[in-house]
Chain A
Amino acid sequence: MAKMTLEELRNLRSLKQSSLQKRSIEGKEGQIVIGMGTCGIAAGAKTVLDAFLSELDAQGITNISVTQTGCMGLCYVEPTIEVIVPNMPDTIYGKVDAKVVKLIVKEHLINHKLINDHLFDRPSADIYAKDGDK
């Protein structure tokens, strides 16, 4: 994109805000976000990323995007990921490895069930959270 003016920046922001709210990144319905700070990567986040890509492929799921983010702060249970899909609460999973990835795809994405023992709480509220937008 070329250099922006103030107005163009504001337009871009409102456009991206609504797509972030709907979570319809690149036209996909859901998102798997992998914590990829140095800490996450050291704990195996890259393996988890690869595992998700191949497992989604294997199950023929095409409407979920896989993206990265920084450290979520839950160092004791790295690698951590967040799953954001319609009709399910936004969910953070910790201590994820290739086996757990398979479980998440099968149970969370396909059967709409949360997974025992890997679920963790987001450590704080979002200062930008709007009403009705959890």
Chain B
Amino acid sequence: MAFRNYILVCGGTGCESSHADDIYKNLIAECEAQGVKDEVQIVKTGCFGFCEQGPIVKILPEDSFYVQVKPEDAKELISEHVIKGREVTRLLYDKEKSHKHAQVEEIDFYQKQFRIVLRNCGFIDPENIDEYIAREGYVGLEKALYEFTPEQIIEQVKISGLRGRGGAGFPTWMKWNFTKMSDNAEKFVVCNADEGDPGAYMDRSTLEGDPHSILEAMTICAKAIGATQGYIYIRAEYPLAIHRLEVAMKQAREYGLLGKNILDSGFDFDIEIRLGAGAFVCGEETALLQSIEGFRGMPQPRPPFPAVKGLWNKPTCINNVETWANIPVIMTKGGAWFQQIGTSDSHGTKVFALTGKIKNSGLVEVPMGTTLREIVFDIGGGIANGKEFKAVQTGGPSGGVITKENLDTPIDFGGLQKIGSMMGSGGMIVMDEDDCIVDVAKFYLNFTVDESCGKCAPCRIGGRSLLNILEKITTGKGTQKDVDNIHRIALAMQKGSLCALGQTAPNPILSSLKYFPEEYRAHIEDKKCPAGKCKKLITYTIDVDKCIGCTACARKCPVDAISGERKQAHIIDQSLCIKCGACLVACKFGAVNVN
């Protein structure tokens, strides 16, 4: 027989250090003492996030979420909650606090996350159209075909306040409206699934988990703007997403939800997949359209915008995967429902791929206006291995760093721009004290230089020049003049580049210079890398007083740079050392120093 209650005690490292283990033991003892041990199971769980509110205790089936529980609270939890069925209100998490950005009446929840885009990911079998249909799938399409006029469809998107999730944040309804207004017998709908930011995988997960939502959204848009053909441009590196899209398209055609005479309404629309070869620049819309047409992926000057002259010079409405995934919900629940989520500047939610030095890395969807602190410390559980938080990089190679001082900035389009970063597509890389900010800037610049298509000079030459300067700085050859040059070159790139790739490429350097000037100074003036990352600026030495001669480091050294007799202090030959840091990891006695 199943138990009456299940009591879940957070067993994450954060909570364990704050007596979660004692709570666990006390709860077991209390169940025994109060005679309910056969009716209740007490379980240790993985981390709930929320580590700053820990220890967490959750009781099922009521879903009561207790925070900052102390070992002595165990007695009351059992006698009140389990035996009398009354929640212990003084320990309950204040739900008001968590969903201040998502005032949605029908949902009562304690989580910081709110899933619109990812609503079906983890719920349905993506290869089974029936499961999608069962969860309000294709209701939006029904409305678009039978209830709304094209104007009313666009009106709903306008009311929702949805802005493009690919990075720039352009109002979606305007894009749709421009395409609708363009006078042409043939128009196209395009899905930009060319996700390429380092560390970003939101779109891949959405396509893999809920492919029908994209098909439905594109069909709704086609109806609104008067298109009959759509394309999904996706990189070939996403084979599973492509496979699931193909399965979904086949099923939708069989059901009459795609193709000729959709749902017997007389409306025709079909979608084809176009594979990209993985060039980052093809995420830029004009380059993407060039690539679909079979040309080399290079951006074109705008205007004319794709809404006027896009694919094969026909009006084209192009949106990013995440933008599309919101559309069916806006249709079913209404623009007004969507509008109330988020901030006055940005409505709805944003999906982030939370990675880097964070405890709970993962795919996170939060209402706009959630702060970075909530994402990193409540959802992400804080920094791994007890290290100090340094910064978060958002917006990938086009974005910037957000530091401790700005942790409480609400995340929306305007808020991030104000502090010198950008929303971007949703990569969020957390850095700790061991990360060198100059090295990180160099990493991103390396990426954009690699991915620059080479068409326009500011991006092609400017990017390379900036990279050369960072190379100088990280090898101890930088001067103050280099910093001035960074600003000059960056300005030229921002003003003169043809597309966003070049215009935004200097962002990681500019924002890191702005927030960590002392770290650049340390590299330039003191020829030191405070984080110990820039190999040319650090030396590994062995402290002769601490070294006991265990030979552990010498055995690990890949270039045999460490010598010394057993039980005698060892020494590193600096001319051989490649600064890999293996000795530092191997030493159990803290005898290896980095300077």
Contacts and interface: CB of A to CB of B under 8 A. Distances in A.
Contacts of B185: none
A57 interface: no
Interface of A is mostly: loop
Interface in B218-266: 238, 240-241, 254-257, 261, 263-265
- Bin the interface of chain A by size: 35 or more
Contacts of A127: 104, 107, 114-116, 119, 329, 333
B546 interface: no
B134 A120 contact: no
A124 B46 contact: no
Interface in A1-27: 1-6, 9-10, 12-13, 16-17, 19-20
Interface in A31-49: 33, 35, 37-39, 41
B121 A6 contact: no
A13 B134 CA distance: 5
A125 B109 contact: yes
Contacts of A89: 6, 60-61
B555 interface: no
B205 interface: yes
Contacts of B124: 69-70
B208 A118 contact: no
Contacts of A12: 130, 133
Given A117-B44, A120-B46, A69 B240 contact: no
A58 interface: no
Given A70-B120, A77-B46, A89-B6, A5 B264 contact: yes
B48 interface: yes
B122 A9 contact: no
A107 B44 CA distance: 15
B43 A112 contact: no
Interface residues of B, number: 79
Nearest to A14: B134
Contacts of A1: 254-255
Contacts of B121: 37, 69-73
Contacts of B6: 89, 114
A28 interface: no
A134 interface: yes
Contacts of A125: 107-109, 111, 114-115
B482 to A, nearest CB: 38
A95 B43 CA distance: 16
Contacts of A77: 46
Contacts of B113: 123-124
A123 B116 CA distance: 13
A17 B13 CA distance: 40
Interface of A: 1-6, 9-10, 12-13, 16-17, 19-20, 33, 35, 37-39, 41, 67-77, 80, 82, 87-89, 94-95, 112-129, 134
